[in-house]
Amino acid sequence: MNKLFVPFITAGYPSLDITKEIIREFNDMQIPYVELGVPYSDPLADGPTIQRASDIALANGANLDTIFDMISSIAEPLSSKLIIFSYYNPLYVYGFKKFCEKCKKLGIYGVLIPDLPKEEEHEVISLINDYDLVLIPLVTPTSASRLQLILEGKDRGFIYCVSSLGVTGERQSFHSNLEKFIDKVKSISDLPVVVGFGVSSREQAEDICNFADGVIVGSKIINIITNAFEKFIDQKTPAFIAKEVRKNVENICPYVYNK
């Protein structure tokens, strides 16, 4: 059975033109979901790799308006479902209603807000539902007491399960009770449970897919993008760099996307 492979990329890193071409390559790979991170100056859940990518994207002028413009410039229809990964503050400043309207217009599938305040949950979730967007729930090994509440009514997308406490970044090991926690989540919801934070190799992905429904890979892909950009920046186009990224990403896909 195929498992989900969900790549995360920072929008605008190292440029919006390259981000656009990477999305097109992932779409050509028939990857079901692509997480598109909105760069933010204070990304509390992100490790140094994604923080650096955010800093560079911000310095290059990436923001929600330019990201939406980039998405709208993709000529071909996307079968990959785009999920906007954003901290609360950029969405608050932009305006949640305006954000949801834009997502709906562009055919964006969903949104993931890792630091959504509890006191804002009801209003934000209602607005997201009004525009027929999908809020991807993020659960951690310490959120067991709230699982029922967090997952209530969720019937589309997947569940993002955090592998370890702390921030994003490549890891050698994960939370000791991860498999048990995944089983608990599966007992509450029929949605696919996908594990992220630290997955950086094919071997890790295959091990996790023995008990989970897929993996999310972020920091490793950002490093792949960095290497391709630095290697070919002087002589190759964004499309060429994106194809180089694709080749390296395919090496860590554990039989997880439909061909």
Give me the catalytic one of 21, 35, 170, 213. 35
Token digits of residue 223 = 């490093």
Please give the pLDDT value at position 244.
92
pTM for this model (two decimals)? 0.92
Q: Which of 42-46, 154-158, 166-170, 255-259 has the highest mean pLDDT?
A: 154-158
Indicate whether 174 belongs to any domain. no
183 part of a folded domain: no
- Its domain, for residue 225, covers 4-136+198-252
Type of residue numbered 56 = I
Establish whether 28 is a catalytic residue. Answer: no
Q: Per the domain annotation, does 178 fall within a domain?
A: no
The length of the chain, given as a count of residues: 259
Cα(259)–Cα(257) distance, integer angstroms: 6
In a domain, residue 146? The reply is no
Task: Starting at the earlier edge strand, list the strands of the sheet with 81-85.
Answer: 134-135, 110-112, 81-85, 33-37, 4-10, 214-217, 193-196, 159-162, 138-139
Q: What is the pLDDT of residue 114?
A: 92
Question: pLDDT at residue 258 above 90?
Answer: no
In a domain, 182, yes or no: no
User: Is 18 inside a domain boundary?
Assistant: yes
Query: What average pLDDT does range 163-188 have in this prediction?
Result: 70
Query: Catalytic: 207?
Result: no
Mean pLDDT of the chain: 89
Average pLDDT over residues 45-60: 92
Domain count, the chain: 1
Residue 97 contacts by C-beta under 8 Å, 6 or more apart in sequence?
127
pLDDT (0 to 100) of residue 93: 97
Distances (CA, A) of 19 to 162, 176, 204: 25, 35, 26
**228, pLDDT greater than 90:** yes
Look at residue 207 and tell me whether its pLDDT is greater than 70.
yes
User: Of these residues, 46, 170, 213, 244, which one is catalytic?
Assistant: 46
pLDDT in tens, 84-97: 999 999 999 999 99
175 domain-assigned: no
pLDDT score at 49: 92
